[in-house]
Amino acid sequence: MIIAVDGPTASGKGTIARALAAHFGLPHLDTGLLYRAVGRQVFLDGGDPDDPADALAATAFPDALLADPHLRDEDTGGLASRVSIHPVVRQALFERQRTFATRPGGAVLDGRDIGTVIAPEAQVKLFVTASVEARALRRWQEMHDRGAEATLEDIAANLRRRDARDMERKDAPLVAAPDALVIDTSALDRDQAIAAAIEAARTAL
């Protein structure tokens, strides 16, 4: 059983994917972390994220980088969305994601193109979304709890930029698979979003 969870930044897809993995006893892969590691590695190499060759070289990042707390930074998210535009980068990360998705016993993956490109055969496809305002507020709260400073306006502008880049790219753009179930979490709290996702997954199975 493959569960694909796609959606924009701060939509709640990570929380939902982790909860589904726990509920169904499946391993979980946050594929955004792979793109973040590439973005971080380009930065560490002093490379140019917009240069396909520099970005491709960074896909050989060491596994230990996946535990780097800087991967969660807003700046790294921006770099990730820039390197993820290059088809060579997406190809380089494809096999790793595909192997995880097709593990015997099943898996939960979350990202942008799981239901469309990585595992189009997934039995459960969820597209988790929320308004920019709701997502900005969540991101602000998260940053505030960590002691990081940012205004709501800056966060919202950043989200809009990331959304536009992810949706407008030619290769594997952020889009709901035609057979995905859309969950809008704008008006849902964490528990309600998880309950809606479990219910949707049960219905799809």
Residues 120-159 that bind ligand C5P (CB under 6 A): none
The CB density around residue 26, as the number of other CB atoms within 10 Å, is 18
Rule CB under 6 A: choose which of 162, 180, 193, 196 binds ligand C5P.
162
In the complex, least distance from residue 59 CB atom to ligand C5P, rounded to whole angstroms: 13
Beta bridge partners of 202: none
CA distance 162 to 67: 23
Q: How many H-runs (helices) and E-runs (strands) does the chain carry?
A: 8, 5
Q: Return d(Cα 182, Cα 175) in angstroms, integer.
A: 11
Q: How many residues bind ligand C5P (CB under 6 A)?
A: 14
- 185 forms part of the interface with ligand C5P (CB under 6 A): no
32 binding ligand C5P? (CB under 6 A): yes
- Which residues, other chains included, contact 172 with Cβ-Cβ below 8 Å and sequence gap of 6+? 90, 112, 113, 116, 117
Under rule CB under 6 A, which residues in 69-108 are in contact with ligand C5P? 77, 80-81, 84
Task: Supply the minimum distance, in Å, between the C-beta of residue 35 and ligand C5P.
Answer: 3
Residue 138 C-beta: closest distance to ligand C5P, Å: 13
User: Among candidates 3, 179, 169, 172, which has minimal Cα distance to 94?
Assistant: 172
Name the one residue in this structure whose structure tokens are 């959304």. 163
Sequence-distant (6+) residues with CB within 8 A of 165 are 81, 82, 85
CA distance 174 to 114: 10
Closer residue to ligand C5P (CB): 139 or 200: 139
Q: Is 170 annotated as a binding residue?
A: no
Q: Which lies closer to ligand C5P via its Cβ, residue 103 or residue 202?
A: 103
Q: By CB under 6 A, which span of 30-38, 50-58, 153-161, 176-184 interacts with ligand C5P?
A: 30-38
Q: Which of 166, 181, 183, 200 binds ligand C5P (CB under 6 A)?
A: 166
11 carries a ligand binding annotation: yes
Contact footprint for ligand C5P (CB under 6 A): 9, 31-32, 35-36, 77, 80-81, 84, 111-113, 162, 166
